[in-house]
Amino acid sequence: MTNLNNDFMESYKHLDKICKEIFNSEKGVTTYIDTMKEVNDGNRYVPLWNKTLYKLKHYRHIRNNYVHEVGTSQYDICTRDDIEWLNNFYKEIMKTTDPLARYRREKSSYKAVEDVKYIRYTEGGEGEQLQYQNVNSKSDDGEGLRLLNIILKFLIIMGINLAVVLFIMLMIS
């Protein structure tokens, strides 16, 4: 086994171990890949999402070939750039700047912005404050349903009254 191959395997095992711990899984990098594949809109929120997914699959393939194929220790399976990429990806995970962490942050902040109905500035003892009112607020839903219920009852009563008046008019004529 060459030093380059040793370094690659050590970097891959390091990454695999942290993925196993994060996902509480036996599959490590494979679980990370599977989780990325489950996300349909990752490239919408995270630049290079697809490229990262491709690289992880590629490095997993290299690792699997090296471990399971005969004769692979006779030549270099990777380059220094590959090892550097794995090490940098490990650092991204540790700093929570990896694609899945960034996706969760971006998706939640995007959802928070979608949910905000309006922002109002108010003067307070501490200075200006932001107040948010969510579109999905439970108190708004209750008032809206009560109003809808009242309108519906009114329309039903009016319909019944109209039917009675029409019936009486038909009977008279």
For the chain, give every domain's residue range.
Answer: 3-113, 138-173
pLDDT for 8: 96
23 close to 35: Cβ distance less than 8 angstroms: yes
Spatial contact of 13 and 83, defined as CB atoms under 8 Å apart? no
CB within 8 Å of 32: residues ≥ 6 apart: 19, 22, 23, 56, 100
Q: What's the confidence (pLDDT) of residue 6? A: 94
Nearest alpha-carbon partner for 101 in 1, 109, 24: 109
- Residues in the chain predicted with pLDDT less than 50, given as ranges, are 115-140
Q: What is the pLDDT, as a whole number, of residue 124?
A: 47
Angstrom distance (rounded) from CA 155 to CA 146: 14
For 72, residues 6+ apart whose C-beta sits below 8 A from its C-beta are 65, 66
The widest CA-to-CA distance across the chain, in whole angstroms, is: 106
Q: What is the pLDDT of residue 117?
A: 45
Q: What was the pLDDT predicted at 28?
A: 95
pLDDT (0 to 100) of residue 111: 60
Q: What is the 3-state secondary structure (H, E, C) of 101-170?
A: HHHHHHHHHHHHHHHEEEEEEEEECCEEEEEEEECCCHHHHHHHHHHHHHHHHHHHHHHHHHHHHHHHHH
- Over its C-alpha atoms, the chain yields an Rg (Å, rounded) of 31
